Amino acid sequence: MVDLTKENFDEEVLNAQGYVLVDFYGDGCVPCAALMPHIHGFEETYGQTVKFCSLNTTKARRLAISQKVLGLPVIAVYKDGVMIDSRVKDEATPEACEEMIKNYA
Give the Cα-Cα-Cα angle 68, 70, 75 (nearest 5 degrees). Answer: 75
Instruction: Give the SS3 label for residue 54.
Output: strand
**Confidence band for 57, pLDDT divided at 50, 70 and 90:** very high
Helix and strand tally (H, E) in the chain? 4, 5
Alpha carbon distance, N-terminus to C-terminus of the chain: 16
Q: Is the dihedral of CA 32, 44, 5, 64 positive or negative?
A: negative
Region 43-63 average pLDDT: 97
**Confidence band for 18, pLDDT divided at 50, 70 and 90:** very high
Is residue 31 reached through a cis peptide bond, with omega within 30 degrees of 0 on the bond before it? no
30-46 helix and 94-104 helix, angle to the nearest 10 degrees: 30
**What are the tens digits of pLDDT across the range 59-98?**
999 999 999 999 999 999 999 999 999 999 999 999 999 9
State the DSSP code for 12. Answer: I
